[in-house]
Amino acid sequence: MKLRKTKTIEAYIPTASMADIAFLLIVFFMITTVFQVDKTKLILPASIVRSEVVKGSAFVVVTEEGYIKVSDGKEDTHPIDASDVLSFAVDLMSKDPEHHVVLKVDKRVKWHVVDKILEQLEQARVKNLQFLTKLKTNQQ
């Protein structure tokens, strides 16, 4: 007796929802994406207490050599003179008096450099400041 051949069901992966999955991922990455405004490499001081930097904060970067770079949070950082921080901050505050400013300073920088920046930020009536740090581990 001849056995009747069973009909093989063709295997296939449903691809109709592929685009939906992909778009979901896109939305996730779009929301989490923060365009880094500063890529300066420096050694940050460590601390235990840390809180998240507000998205779109302005940056003031001081390298070990004392070079100062600023960014309003939208564009990349650009180098400026130590005495021009005031005009930068005043400009920033005129647009939004509550704008957060992040200080990204190398840990080896002497205080008087930071002091001058703080003085100018205070003069420009900057209110919300944040000192960028890295997480302190037990070894330190």
* Residues 102 and 59 sit within 8 Å (Cβ to Cβ): yes
Minimum Å distance from CB 6 to other proteins? 32
Alpha carbon distance 132, 47 (integer Å): 9
Rounded distance between C-alpha atoms, residue 41 and residue 100, angstroms: 22
Our CB check for other proteins shows the closer of 79 and 135 to be 135
CA dihedral 114, 93, 41, 26 (to 10 degrees): 160
Q: Could you tell me how many residues make up the chain?
A: 140
In angstroms, what is the minimal distance from the CB of 90 to other proteins? 13
Output the smallest distance, CB 88 to other proteins, in A.
Answer: 15
Instruction: Tell me the C-alpha to C-alpha distance, in Å, between residue 118 and each of 54, 101, 130.
Output: 19, 11, 11
Nearer to other proteins, 6 or 140 (CB): 140
User: Residues interacting with other proteins, by CB under 8 A?
Assistant: 15, 18-19, 22-23, 25-26, 29-30, 32-36, 45-53, 102-103, 105-115, 118-119, 121-123, 125-136
In the complex with other proteins, the residue whose CB is nearer, 1 or 19, is: 19
- Over the Cα atoms of the chain, what is R_g? 26
- Smallest gap, in angstroms, from Cβ of residue 78 to other proteins? 19
The smaller minimum CB distance to other proteins, of residues 38 and 80, is found at 38
